[in-house]
């Protein structure tokens, strides 16, 4: 399911589909919102980046020590570690690495 928006309202993140319908909520205690992809979003909690699907179900996690969050694009997100940009899929598996 595609995500069009994640709104921060009160103590929750509300997830909306492409028709503008609210499809789920996730408590802000689950982390700070970092990015929104086509069918997932990323939060940072403690020492981890955690991916969630449109229904706010956890998909995967990767240690924040892997790099500083950069962005999401399509079905991937990127971290910067030193001079490298590392791309991960929604399951937090490394899919590419390049020099920044």
**In sequence order, what are the beta bridge partners of 7?**
14
Answer for the pair 22, 6: CB distance below 8 angstroms, yes or no.
Answer: no
Answer for the pair 91, 60: CB distance below 8 angstroms, yes or no.
Answer: yes
pTM for this predicted structure: 0.94
Domain limits, the chain: 5-99
Q: How would CATH label the architecture of 5-99?
A: Beta Barrel (2.40)
Residue 25: C-alpha distances to residues 3, 14, 44 (Å): 12, 5, 16
**In sequence order, what are the beta bridge partners of 41?**
36, 52
pLDDT at 22 (0 to 100): 97
Quote the CA–CA distance of 82 and 27 in Å, as a whole number.
Answer: 32
pLDDT digits 0-9 by tens, 51-89: 999 999 999 999 999 999 999 999 999 999 999 999 999
């Amino acid at each position: 399911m595609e995500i069009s928006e994640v709104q921060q309202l009160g103590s929750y993140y509300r997830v909306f589909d492409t028709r503008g319908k609210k499809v789920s909520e996730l408590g802000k205690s689950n982390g700070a919102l970092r990015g929104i992809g086509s069918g997932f979003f990323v939060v940072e909690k403690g020492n981890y980046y955690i991916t969630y699907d449109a229904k706010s179900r956890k998909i995967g996690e990767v240690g924040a020590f892997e790099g500083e969050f950069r962005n999401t694009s399509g079905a991937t997100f990127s971290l910067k570690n030193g001079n490298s940009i590392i791309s991960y899929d929604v399951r937090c598996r490394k899919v590419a690495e390049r020099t920044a």
